C-alpha cells in the first residue's frame, strides 16, 4: 500500500515524471488517493521526500488516516469510476438556450469527461419529449417545466424525470410585429394573437404573467398559439400572429429579417428566470450512475464556461453552423453577447441579456407549479416541496459545480421578484391566491 507514497514526484494522475527513477507507481486506487492526499497536505515535493525518509511511508499513512478520512476519500474518488455507457445520444432543439449542451460537443467538454456524445437536432418539444421517454435519447434538452409535467403525468404519460442542471437563465424576449411600434402598452393588446413554443414552457408562463399584470386575461382576451420557433418568424411575417415570446436566436432573427422588433427582454419580467434545462430520466440515473455523473459534470463545466462574457463570441461561432443551430453567426452573436439591434434603429448593449447558471433552485420548481395550477394545467394538489426536491437535483448540482471550481449557493431555495412582486417559496398557496386573473381551481 505504501509503494505509491515513496516517490514524491508523482504527478496528479499518479504517473512518474520522466527521469524520476524511483521505480514505483501507485498500484491501486487506494494508493493513488493516499498519494493525492499526501501531496495536498504537503505541497512541496522536497519536504515530502524528507518526511518519508525520516519516518517511513507506513507512519505517514497512519498519521494521515487519523486526520483525514482516506476511506471516504477513496470512495469519493471511486466516483470517477467506470462509465457504463460512454456513447450517448442527447436530443436538442436548435435554440441558444441549449448552448451548453450543444457546445459541449464541438468544444470538447464531453470528451474531457470521458464521454462520446451525439447531439441530435430534433423537430419540436413534443417530439423531443417522446423520443426521450422512448429512450431513443439517453438525456435531453428540455424546457424547465417539462420534467415536472412529465413526472406529474400532465400532458403526457407519467414517467419519472429529473433535472440535474438548468441550462440558461434569461435570454428570451417578447417580439412584436413592426406595425405595432406605436402600440407598446400591453394594456392595449386585447384581441391580439401571440405565439409560444410549448404549453409547458417558461415562455408560456412569463407571457401570461406579463399579460395578466396588464389586466389582460391570456385565455379570453388574447389568443395564445403553440408553434415551433422558426414558424414564429414566418407567422409574424405572414401576419398570423402579432407577436411572440420566444427563444433566441428566433427573436434576433425576426429583427434581422426586418419583420419585428424586440419589445421586452425576458429579464425585465424576472431577472434570473430559468428557461431551458438538461433533463435525465430517473431510470437512466439508476442504471448508469457513473455515466450520469460524468455527463452532469461535462454540462455544468460547459455552462460555467458559457457564463463568462469573454467566451460568448467563441461559443456563438461554434454553434451557429448547419450541424447545430443553422443560423447566420451574426444573429447568434447578438443573442449571446447582448450587443444587438433592437429593430427600432438602436444598437443596445445588454451583456446580461442571456445568462448560463446551472443551479436548479427548487424555488423555481415551486414557482412553476404555482403557475401550472394558476392556469389550470395542474388540477390536483401536490406537495410542492416534495416534488421540487425530487425533480430539481439541487444537492447533486452543487456537488458537481464545486468539482468544476464553481461556487454553488449555500441553500436550495430562495425568494425572488417577478415584475415587482416577491415570491416566497414557503408560501405558494398564498402566492397563487393573490392573483386576480387565474383559472378556477
Partner 1 sequence: MTARLRAPLLSLALLAVFLLAWQIAVSGTGPTGPAMDPEYAKLMGITATTGKSAMPGPIDVAQSMIEILRDPFYIRGQNDKGLGIQLLYSIGRVAVGYGLAVLVAIPTGFLIGMSPLMHRALDPFIQILKPVSPLAWMPLALYTIKDSNVSSVFVIFICALWPMLINTAFGVASVRQEWRNVAHTLEVGPVRCAFTIILPAAAPTILTGMRISIGIAWLVIVAAEMLVGGTGIGYFVWNEWNNLSITHVIVSIIVIGLVGMALDQILARCQRLVTFPE
In the complex, which residues of this chain contact partner 1 (CB under 8 A)? 94, 118-123, 127, 130-131, 134-136, 229-230, 233-234, 237, 253, 255-258, 321-324, 326-328, 330-331, 334, 340-341, 345-347
- Measured N-to-C along each axis, helices 362-374 and 384-391 cross at an angle, to the nearest 10 degrees, of 130
Burial label for 410, CB within 10 Å (0-12, 13-18, 19+), is: exposed
Cβ-based nearer residue to partner 1, 123 or 433: 123
DSSP code per residue over 202-222: HHHHHHHHHHHHTT--TTTTS
> How many other CB atoms sit within 10 Å of the CB of residue 243?
24
Cβ-based nearer residue to partner 1, 135 or 421: 135
What are the residues whose beta carbons fall under 8 Å from the beta carbon of 322, sequence distance 6 or more?
Answer: none
The dihedral sign for the CA sequence 219, 178, 124, 370: negative
Cβ-based nearer residue to partner 1, 102 or 418: 102
The torsion angle over the Cα atoms of residues 350, 352, 353 and 358, rounded to 10 degrees, is 170
**Using CA atoms, how far apart are residues 227 and 240, in angstroms rounded to an integer?**
11
DSSP 14: S
Q: Write down the least CB distance from residue 303 to partner 1, Å.
A: 21
Q: Write down the least CB distance from residue 253 to partner 1, Å.
A: 7
DSSP code per residue over 46-82: HHHHHHHHHH-HHHHHHHHHHHS-HHHHHHHHGGG--
Cβ-based nearer residue to partner 1, 268 or 342: 342
Q: Write down the least CB distance from residue 429 to partner 1, Å.
A: 36
Cβ-based nearer residue to partner 1, 110 or 384: 110
Q: Write down the least CB distance from residue 173 to partner 1, Å.
A: 15
What are the residues whose beta carbons fall under 8 Å from the beta carbon of 130, sequence distance 6 or more?
Answer: 156
User: Which of 356, 351, 322 is closest to 335 using CA atoms?
Assistant: 351
Using DSSP's 3-state secondary structure scheme, residue 431 falls into helix
Phi, psi dihedrals of residue 139, rounded to the nearest 5°: -155, 170
Question: Rg of the chain over CA atoms, in angstroms?
Answer: 25
Q: Write down the least CB distance from residue 372 to partner 1, Å.
A: 23
Q: Write down the least CB distance from residue 106 to partner 1, Å.
A: 8
Q: Write down the least CB distance from residue 330 to partner 1, Å.
A: 6
Q: Write down the least CB distance from residue 119 to partner 1, Å.
A: 7
Cβ-based nearer residue to partner 1, 203 or 253: 253
Q: Write down the least CB distance from residue 312 to partner 1, Å.
A: 15
Cβ-based nearer residue to partner 1, 253 or 438: 253
Using DSSP's 3-state secondary structure scheme, residue 83 falls into coil
Q: Strands 339-341 and 347-349, how do they pair? A: antiparallel
Cβ-based nearer residue to partner 1, 58 or 116: 116
Cβ-based nearer residue to partner 1, 230 or 289: 230
Please identify which residue in the block is written with the cell numbers 405572414. Answer: 238
Cβ-based nearer residue to partner 1, 127 or 309: 127
DSSP code per residue over 129-170: HHHHHTTSSSEEEEETTHHHHHHHTSSS----EEEEEE--EE
Phi, psi dihedrals of residue 176, rounded to the nearest 5°: -120, 155
User: Which of 209, 205, 206, 272 is closest to 416 using CA atoms?
Assistant: 272
Cβ-based nearer residue to partner 1, 73 or 348: 348
**Using CA atoms, how far apart are residues 271 and 420, in angstroms rounded to an integer?**
11
Q: Write down the least CB distance from residue 416 to partner 1, Å.
A: 32
Amino acid at each position: 500500500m505504501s509503494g505509491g507514497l515513496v516517490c514524491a514526484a508523482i504527478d496528479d494522475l499518479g504517473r512518474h515524471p520522466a527521469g524520476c527513477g524511483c521505480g514505483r507507481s501507485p498500484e491501486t486506487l487506494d494508493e493513488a488517493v493516499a498519494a493525492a492526499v499526501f501531496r495536498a497536505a504537503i505541497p512541496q515535493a522536497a519536504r515530502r521526500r524528507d518526511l518519508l525518509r525520516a519516518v517511513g511511508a507506513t507512519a505517514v499513512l497512519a498519521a494521515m488516516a487519523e486526520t483525514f478520512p482516506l476511506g471516504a476519500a477513496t470512495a469519493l474518488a471511486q466516483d470517477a469510476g467506470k462509465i457504463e455507457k460512454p456513447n450517448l445520444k442527447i436530443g436538442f432543439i436548435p435554440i441558444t438556450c441549449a448552448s451548453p449542451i450543444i457546445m459541449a460537443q464541438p468544444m470538447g467538454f464531453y470528451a474531457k469527461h470521458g464521454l462520446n456524445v451525439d447531439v441530435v437536432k430534433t423537430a419540436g418539444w413534443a417530439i423531443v419529449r417522446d423520443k426521450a421517454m422512448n429512450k431513443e435519447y439517453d438525456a435531453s434538452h428540455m424546457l424547465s417545466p417539462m420534467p415536472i409535467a412529465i413526472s406529474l403525468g400532465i400532458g403526457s404519460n407519467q414517467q419519472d424525470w429529473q433535472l440535474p442542471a438548468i441550462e440558461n437563465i434569461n435570454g428570451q424576449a417578447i417580439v412584436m410585429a413592426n406595425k405595432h411600434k406605436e402600440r407598446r402598452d400591453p394594456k392595449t393588446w386585447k384581441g391580439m394573437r401571440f405565439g409560444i413554443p410549448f404549453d409547458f414552457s417558461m415562455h408560456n408562463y412569463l407571457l401570461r404573467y406579463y399579460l395578466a399584470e396588464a389586466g389582460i386575461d391570456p385565455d379570453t382576451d388574447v389568443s395564445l398559439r403553440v408553434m415551433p420557433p422558426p414558424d414564429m418568424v414566418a407567422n409574424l411575417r405572414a401576419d398570423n400572429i402579432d407577436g411572440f415570446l420566444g427563444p433566441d436566436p428566433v427573436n434576433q432573427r425576426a429583427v434581422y429579417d426586418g419583420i419585428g422588433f424586440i419589445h421586452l427582454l425576458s429579464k425585465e419580467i424576472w431577472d434570473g428566470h430559468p428557461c431551458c434545462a438538461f433533463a435525465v430520466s430517473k431510470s437512466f440515473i439508476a442504471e448508469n450512475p457513473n455515466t450520469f455523473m460524468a455527463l452532469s459534470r461535462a454540462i455544468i463545466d460547459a455552462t460555467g464556461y458559457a457564463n463568462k462574457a469573454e467566451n460568448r463570441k467563441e461559443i456563438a461561432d461554434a454553434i451557429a453552423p448547419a450541424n447545430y443551430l443553422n443560423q447566420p453567426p451574426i444573429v447568434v452573436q447578438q443573442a449571446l453577447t447582448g450587443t444587438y439591434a433592437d429593430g427600432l434603429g438602436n444598437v443596445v448593449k445588454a451583456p446580461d441579456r442571456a445568462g448560463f447558471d446551472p443551479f436548479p433552485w427548487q424555488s423555481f420548481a415551486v414557482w412553476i407549479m404555482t403557475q401550472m395550477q394558476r392556469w389550470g394545467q395542474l388540477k390536483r394538489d401536490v406537495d410542492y416541496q416534495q416534488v421540487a426536491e425530487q425533480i430539481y437535483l439541487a444537492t447533486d448540482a452543487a456537488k458537481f459545480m464545486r468539482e468544476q471550481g464553481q461556487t454553488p449557493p449555500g441553500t436550495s431555495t430562495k425568494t425572488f421578484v417577478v415584475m415587482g412582486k416577491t415570491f416566497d417559496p414557503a408560501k405558494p398557496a398564498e402566492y397563487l391566491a393573490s392573483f386576480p386573473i387565474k383559472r378556477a381551481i
